[in-house]
Chain A
Amino acid sequence: MKKWPTYLFILVIFISTACSKENEASYVPTPSPLNIPPLFESLILSPVIPANNPQTIEGIALGKKLFFDPILSIDNSLACANCHAPELAFSDSESISSGVNGTLGSRNAMPLFNLAWNYDELFFWDGKTFSLEHQVFVPVTDPLEMQNTWPVVENKLQQHAEYPELFEKAFGTSKIDSVLVGKAIAQFERSLISANSKFDKYLLGEADLTPEERNGFEVFMDENRGDCFHCHGSDKNPLWTDNIFHNNGLDENFKDLGLGAITGDPADNGKFKTPSLRNLAFTAPYMHDGRFLTLEDVINHYSEGLKNSATIDPLMKKVANGGVNLSDKDKADLKKFLLSLSDYEFVNNSSINK
């Protein structure tokens, strides 16, 4: 008889544990599939959504809150949004982004949009990280960025008045860890879709280009003039990037090896990811080190500023002449076309702003 209370206690524990696990396993947050733009739907492959991190309303909301919250940094001073400002298409106006205490980083912050269509899932200028979920890990602990440690971040979030409940809603557990932080921010970042530029509207038959913009597009697509399309997409690839790594002739000698530092292959030295040409109106300065302050500088570089090196891309033509030597009119028109790829609705979208 004396053993009955013990048996009863074990039974109660067993049932409550079983119920709690069942609740955790059966909890399903509200699905929120990506709203795929019509041009993307008809022209390119489907976005990459990991099976273990589907988009949900609660996950995106949590990711957004984390993105704008300086709690991830060691002294609560720096949020993701500090270097990835929404009004700048989630980029930084500084050539080189600064971390906690103004510590200068090494590169320009990349803009963030259409990341779910990065099919190879290699992120950062040098492709050092595979998957958006893993990408999130890097800036939090980078000594040039947020300078934090994950145990500290997890503890701060766990002790926070709101976060445990938000994680419960997003993932069915209030126990916070770095994996779930990564998943939430990745969901928010995948929701950043830019596809409503003037040129998008032109392709959809909803807007006209000016004669200058049309000529600029011809320069862009003409192998004898700009020949930008081999790396930067086209009217058939609305990402306006190939998401691949190239040496575009910036330097004869490399201070920053880029992809080469990651792969260890000298043939990759000086290669950096092709950035999308969307939203150039908001994403200055340009290149991985923000060396060009204006679009004119960028166009002049390809026209007459190319520097030869062992790994310069074969598509960088007429290197001995500095580049393709565009006429002043073609340069001006190319700039007008490039600006037609900017999506003002995206940068003014309050739902993805703080």
Chain B
Amino acid sequence: MNKILATTCLLCMILCSCHKDLDDDVFPTSVTFNFNHSWDDTPVTATDFNSLKFTNAHGELLSISKLRYLISRITFEKPNGEYFTFDDYFLVDLTQENTLSLTPNNTIPPGEYSHVYFTFGFNNEDNYMNYTDLNSASWNVPEMLGGGYHFMQLEGKFIDATNTETGYAYHYIRAVDNTQSPLVFEDTFFTVDIGAVNLSKSTNFNMNMNIAEWFKNPNTWDLNQLNNMLMPNFDAQMMMYQNRQNVFSLESVNPF
């Protein structure tokens, strides 16, 4: 028993020692993540909103009127396992240009990093905290669905099977089966790993979100079937999660 306790303590000490707290240190390198957007190969900005100009994999012509999503826990991990995680979280909103460029408040030391990654949405620890800015943006998930926050809101119109312009609200949250009590959850936040980087000075990371991927792979999304009331729809949430795999890509890394 004592051995188990000692081993647990040792493991805890090792784990704690690997994570560097960025709050007190000032380093010469800052990082910025710029988020660009596309529909496959076509760039998308807010000026493209409200026009029926995109066609999803299922063949529906659609527009986008809103795209907001949450990025958190930007992390730089060294080959020795030491890692630096920024506390900041960011609500990206395509209609607010200043939200497309994310610069964490703290800096990190230059050097070799074997993994750079961020979380799309909130992990479960972060998701159930109280954030006054996100509450003010009405970003919450109702308590009947477990509470927490949206991870993404993608909205617009599409031409449905009856040739009628119809709204869709592709809202992505932590999947929950609310037909059961207590609620049954499935995690849908995910980590986007953009690989290794040798950080010699302050650097821009230019990311791209291919919006078309949310409707494409592996689930060909039929907006006629799934266009609204998707938050309480456990299966729809899992399909969104499965379609995440090729949504983000790294376009370039530019020291400045």
Contact = CB atoms under 8 A, between A and B. Distances in A.
Contacts of B167: 312-317, 319
A234 B232 contact: no
Interface of A is mostly: loop
B143 A43 contact: no
Contacts of A44: 132, 135-136
Interface string B135-154: 11110101110000000000
A110 B157 CA distance: 30
A236 B140 contact: yes
Nearest to A119: B136
A221 B142 contact: yes
A234 B138 contact: yes
A239 B135 CA distance: 10
B89 interface: no
Contacts, number: 80
Contacts of B232: 222-224
Contact-size category for A: 35 or more
Nearest to B51: A267
A267 B52 CA distance: 12
Contact of A223 (B130, B165, B231): B231
Interface in B157-172: 157, 164-169
Nearest to B165: A310
B166 A234 contact: no
Given A239-B136, A267-B65, 13 more contacts: A42-B132, A43-B130, A44-B132, A45-B132, A224-B232, A229-B140, A230-B138, A237-B135, A313-B167, A314-B156, A317-B229, A318-B228, A319-B166
26 contacts: A42-B130, A44-B136, A218-B144, A221-B144, A222-B144, A223-B231, A224-B232, A227-B229, A229-B140, A229-B142, A230-B169, A233-B138, A237-B135, A237-B136, A239-B136, A308-B164, A310-B165, A311-B50, A312-B167, A314-B65, A314-B155, A314-B168, A315-B167, A315-B228, A317-B167, A319-B167
Interface of B: 49-50, 65-66, 130, 132-133, 135-138, 140, 142-144, 155-157, 164-169, 228-232
Interface of A: 42-45, 117, 119, 218, 221-224, 227, 229-231, 233-237, 239, 242, 267, 308, 310-320
